[in-house]
Amino acid sequence: MRADREIQITDTSSFPLFDIWAEKIWCGGSLWVMESYGRRVLVISDLSSPSSLSRRRGGVAQSVTDWNDTVIAHFLPGDPFLIQNAQRETIIRCSSMCVDGRRDTWECILEEAGREAARLDNGLLRFTPHIGFQLKLLIVAALSRALTTPRSSRSCFSFLR
Taking the model in full, what pTM does it have? 0.81
Dihedral sign, Cα of residue 97, residue 54, residue 133, residue 148: negative
Q: What is the pLDDT of residue 23?
A: 85
Given a contact cutoff of 8 angstroms between Cβ atoms, the answer to whether 108 and 90 are in contact is no
Q: What is the pLDDT of residue 59?
A: 61
**Boundaries of every domain in the chain:** 6-151
Q: Is 6-151 a CATH 2.70.98.60 domain? A: no
Given a contact cutoff of 8 angstroms between Cβ atoms, the answer to whether 59 and 78 are in contact is yes
How many residues are given for the chain?
161
Q: What is the pLDDT of residue 144?
A: 92
Q: What is the pLDDT of residue 70?
A: 96
C-alpha angle 40/106/104, rounded to 5°?
A: 105
Q: What is the pLDDT of residue 160?
A: 39
Question: Per-10-residue mean pLDDT for the chain, 161 residues long?
Answer: 70 93 77 93 77 50 94 95 97 89 85 96 92 96 86 41 36
Q: What is the pLDDT of residue 2?
A: 44
* DSSP letters spanning 1-51: ---S-EEEEE-TT--EEEEEEEEE-GGG-EEEEEEETTEEEEEEEE-SS--
SS3 91: strand
